[in-house]
Structure 1
Amino acid sequence: MSYGVFQQYYSDNWTLEGDRSSTGFIGTTANGVMYLSMPFLFALFTRRWAHRRQLAALCGTVIACVSFFLSSYSTTIGHLVATQGIASALGCALIYSPITLSLGEWYSTSNRALAYGIVLSCKNIVGTTLPFMLRALIDTYGFRTALRVWTAVVGGTSVVAICMIPTHPSKATVHETRTRKIPWAFLRHRSIYFYSIAIIFQSSGYGIPQTYLSTYARDVVQLSQTSGTLMLALFNAPGIVASSLFGWLSDNPRVTLPAQAVSAIPPLACALAAFLLWGPTTAPQGGLGLLVVFSVVFGFFSGGYSATWGAMLKQLEGESAARNEAVDPGMLYGLLNGVRGIGYASGGFAGVGLLNAGMGMAAAAPRSGYGTSYGPIILFTGITSLLGGWVVLWRWNPMKVLPLVSGLVRSVRRFRQ
């Protein structure tokens, strides 16, 4: 969530071997690898290795710390991708997966979505404060020392917290009896596929502002490095409230919103923010205000999107119960994380290519962000977010929505020209 600080530093102080533009997909690759590995890890720790969750999380801490430490000695872009983008993500996934499974089991009867939302809010607290810490460390000591300090922070905080998290009693002794197979009957329901496609679209656009917001603030709106870091913090801060709010919406019996509506609100709002707030920003007059509003609005709704998965799980569990089929909520949650990894990874690679393409298309005196080299990635963020909201409303007639999407794209193109 704070990789944009490193991205800005690498852009300004490139001393490694390799293509500088490739650093743009390190952050999204890290998120993609972490989420892509989760279905496999959730499957392992749901039943057979449930009693090894704490050990696995501690091993993940070691892997993450070693990876961050080795990344501080990187001399090529390949080293950075392997350590900061891949290996550290695998370690983080080993921490996140068993802990999240335990959380879902302790809140299996009620308030599960709210519990997920509160934990995700804590993630946004870190994403809000950490950019300033990293910026201060990088400016004072360079990125290598900053990564070594971060290694110590990860190791020191994770070990203590992991040792305090208990495994649910129902899973602690599961290895002593014959392990039941994971039920896969839910794969016959079409809802899981619509939700998966929606998550892929939403995640493809979500990682773009996280990676490029700081450099956009500097290159287009002509802000200082400190202001660029502030944009990243403003992007993450609203998620502190949004995650708990959307978790509450998913669980509250007095708010009778269907799962489709709850999970469609964030991506549709993100699409509007990208098209109406990020795209029109220009430098320097008026750009700062629009960019601040965009960071807050997009960060609020995108930061709360994962908390809507509680509503998705509730609907999928209800469909299985109606058919008298067994279902494992932990495995379902792992699969949703996995498809999010596909979106993160694809969005990261697309962002690098679109930014390179935008450099050849940028106008000499752009009137808005659409006319800059960032124009293609702004369009990509808006369109993927729009599709993420539309797909989840699978009960609607898609033929009524497709003309709206194509018309919006044509309007943005005319505005760009």
Structure 2
Amino acid sequence: MSSTDAISLRDRLPPNITEQDPPEAEEDAPNLGQAESRQWESHRKRASVLLGSAVLQLPIWGFAMSYGVIQEYYSEPGNWTLQGSRSITGIVGTTTNGVMYLSMPFLFALFTKRWARRRRTAALCGAVLTSASFFLSSFSTNVWHLVVTQGVMAAFGCALIYSPTTLSLGEWFQTSNRAVAYGVVLSCKNIVGSTCPFLFGALLDRYGFRTALRIWTAVGAATSVLAIFLIPTHPSSVSSSTNRSRNIPWKFLGHQTFYIYSIAIILQSSGYGIPQTYLNQYAHEVTMVSQTSATLLLTLFNLPGIVSSSFFGYLSDKKRFSLSATTVTAISGISSALSAFLLWGLTSRGSMPLLVLFSITFGFFAGGYSATWGGVINEMEREAAQSNEAIDTGMIYGLLNGARGIGYVSGGLAGVPLLKAGSMSSIGRYAYGTTYGPLIIFTGLSSVFGGWGLLWKWKRF
């Protein structure tokens, strides 16, 4: 190119562009590389949080979801060595779930903002408390010792692990993929519920309940500590604890939506814990199946939840299917109610296939109910945005867990008198005519009312 052409080209360039501009473009390359590095680090941390949350399902829920096997073990001749009424052991399982869920609203409130920096410390303290409680329970001499150590102390320790780590999970996964993240973790919870009954069954048969509890103590301590260190607190939460207001916005309490879903969760949960506690005992006493087959039923009860939690979480995200949260909860509630009425209620002596079908269908539809909460929270976020209100999704999730705890405790307290009522009067034929008839009816009714939000939506329109 001639010098004249070069001068002419330079004259035609815009005034803010010179021949030295290309080096500035080169300076953008390091910035792009840093952005990609930060994005990769964010993905890595999300994967770590998801993995840690998945592993924590073992120490948090393994005992509670296997309690039907332990309850059946106590009912076997020669296995009861404690003082006190054996029927009280049925309260331990529901008390465990109740204490865990009821304490969550308070723990979520503490660790949302004010104590956000102390989440990992609190979770580690929960792991210590849980391990110590199960270890102490192995020395129990009276049935009330089990209620205190397993039903109260260990349950509170598990809630102390669950609450701060779940808050971090919700912060690392925002609105667009929160329901799916919750669904994946709940699927892992159901994997635990599918495998731990066999683990506890084998330990109880080989070592007895005292040594089995000590082995479980070691397993729970090792997995919980490992998983807790995989879950970092989200930076936004740490900064908010020092730079922003520590007050939690409570304006969502003025919205009907919160109460509609809370009532539905209470009703659904009151019946959901019944099969977990009594299905093994029913199968062994009424359908006359072996102990191994009864344990298999509990596994089949939890196994479908592996798929259903992710499935209902996917539906709740509304990415491909435009289904409201009320519709998704109604699908879960009505389907699980039909399963209780038409499958469990029609079983009789020797009808193992029907009981297996009940375990699978009820486990799928009822087990995926908690995964709909991501959609519920998203719906409440949209309402808050329309009203220009602040909202704390972590606090809402804690309160929904609290509603579930009320349901578990209510169902546990109702189970004993319902069982007694069934022993005094017969309600028709099949399973309805057995001691467990009132329990089956209670399970079905509470499940169908878990989807009552759909009626509220129809009334509005």
Q: Give me the TM-score of the superposition, normalised by structure 2.
A: 0.84
> How far apart in 2 are the matches of 1:333 and 1:310?
9
Partner of 1:401: none
* 1:268 pairs with 2:329: no
> How far apart in 1 are the matches of 2:251 and 2:314?
28
* 1:361 pairs with 2:425: yes
* 1:108 pairs with 2:108: no
Q: CA deviation at 1:386?
A: 1.3
Secondary structure, counterpart of 2:451 in structure 1:
helix
Partner of 1:402: none
Partner of 1:407: none
Partner of 2:150: 84
Q: Note closer, same or farther for the CA distance 1:102–1:122 as it changes in structure 2 (3 Å cut).
A: same
Partner of 2:75: 11
> How far apart in 1 are the matches of 2:175 and 2:424?
55
> How far apart in 2 are the matches of 1:178 and 1:316?
23
Q: Note closer, same or farther for the CA distance 1:222–1:340 as it changes in structure 2 (3 Å cut).
A: same
Equivalent residue letter for 2:368: G
Secondary structure, counterpart of 1:167 in structure 2:
coil
Q: Note closer, same or farther for the CA distance 1:310–1:53 as it changes in structure 2 (3 Å cut).
A: same
> How far apart in 2 are the matches of 1:100 and 1:157?
16
* 1:248 pairs with 2:310: no
Q: Note closer, same or farther for the CA distance 1:228–1:88 as it changes in structure 2 (3 Å cut).
A: same
* 1:216 pairs with 2:278: no
Question: C-alpha offsets along residues 70-96 of structure 1, whole Å, 9 cap, x if unaligned?
Answer: 111111111111011111110000111
Q: For residues 184-263 of structure 1, what are the structure 2 equivalents within 5 Å?
A: 184-263=250-329
Secondary structure, counterpart of 1:129 in structure 2:
helix
Partner of 2:21: none
Q: Which moved more, 1:186-195 or 1:251-260?
A: 251-260
Partner of 1:302: 366
CA contact (8 A) 2:329 2:450 kept: no
Secondary structure, counterpart of 1:161 in structure 2:
helix
Q: For residues 154-193 of structure 1, what are the structure 2 equivalents within 5 Å?
A: 154-177=220-243, 179-193=245-259
Root-mean-square deviation (CA, aligned residues, Å) is 1.3
> How far apart in 1 are the matches of 2:163 and 2:204?
30
Q: Which moved more, 1:382-391 or 1:339-348?
A: 382-391
> How far apart in 1 are the matches of 2:87 and 2:348?
23
Which of 209, 217, 234 is equivalent to 1:143? 209
Equivalent residue letter for 1:342: I
Partner of 2:396: 332
CA contact (8 A) 2:95 2:152 kept: yes
Q: For residues 284-299 of structure 1, what are the structure 2 equivalents within 5 Å?
A: 284=350, 287-299=351-363
> How far apart in 1 are the matches of 2:142 and 2:454?
41
Partner of 1:322: 386
* 1:387 pairs with 2:438: no
Q: Note closer, same or farther for the CA distance 1:392–1:48 as it changes in structure 2 (3 Å cut).
A: farther
Secondary structure, counterpart of 1:319 in structure 2:
helix
Q: CA deviation at 1:15?
A: 2.2
CA contact (8 A) 1:195 1:392 kept: no
**Count of paired positions:** 394
Question: C-alpha offsets along residues 263-290 of structure 1, whole Å, 9 cap, x if unaligned?
Answer: 1111111110000000010002xx1011
CA contact (8 A) 1:71 1:80 kept: yes
Q: CA deviation at 1:252?
A: 3.6
Secondary structure, counterpart of 1:281 in structure 2:
coil
> How far apart in 2 are the matches of 1:52 and 1:348?
33
Q: Note closer, same or farther for the CA distance 1:5–1:250 as it changes in structure 2 (3 Å cut).
A: same
> How far apart in 1 are the matches of 2:378 and 2:142?
46
Radius of gyration: which is bigger? 2
Partner of 2:90: 24
Equivalent residue letter for 2:441: L
> How far apart in 2 are the matches of 1:123 and 1:44?
24
Equivalent residue letter for 1:393: L
CA contact (8 A) 1:194 1:392 kept: no
Partner of 2:101: 35
CA contact (8 A) 1:31 1:345 kept: yes
Q: Note closer, same or farther for the CA distance 1:392–1:87 as it changes in structure 2 (3 Å cut).
A: farther
CA contact (8 A) 1:261 1:393 kept: no
Q: Which moved more, 1:165-174 or 1:376-385?
A: 165-174
* 1:345 pairs with 2:444: no
Consecutive unaligned residues in structure 2, runs of 5 or more: 1-64
> How far apart in 2 are the matches of 1:158 and 1:33?
19
> How far apart in 2 are the matches of 1:100 and 1:3?
23
Q: Give me the TM-score of the superposition, normalised by structure 1.
A: 0.92
Secondary structure, counterpart of 1:396 in structure 2:
helix
> How far apart in 1 are the matches of 2:447 and 2:175?
32
Partner of 2:432: 370
Q: Note closer, same or farther for the CA distance 1:32–1:300 as it changes in structure 2 (3 Å cut).
A: same
Secondary structure, counterpart of 1:393 in structure 2:
helix
> How far apart in 1 are the matches of 2:415 and 2:214?
28
Question: C-alpha offsets along residues 208-252 of structure 1, whole Å, 9 cap, x if unaligned?
Answer: 000011101100100111011000000000000000111111114
> How far apart in 2 are the matches of 1:36 and 1:89?
10
> How far apart in 2 are the matches of 1:391 and 1:310?
15
CA contact (8 A) 2:326 2:457 kept: no
Partner of 2:62: none
Consecutive unaligned residues in structure 1, runs of 5 or more: 399-417
Question: C-alpha offsets along residues 320-353 of structure 1, whole Å, 9 cap, x if unaligned?
Answer: 1111111000001000000100000000010111
Q: CA deviation at 1:391?
A: 4.2
Secondary structure, counterpart of 2:450 in structure 1:
helix
> How far apart in 1 are the matches of 2:453 and 2:416?
25
Equivalent residue letter for 2:256: R
Equivalent residue letter for 1:273: S
Secondary structure, counterpart of 1:395 in structure 2:
helix
> How far apart in 1 are the matches of 2:253 and 2:245?
21
Q: CA deviation at 1:31?
A: 0.5
Which of 160, 171, 177 is equivalent to 1:94? 160
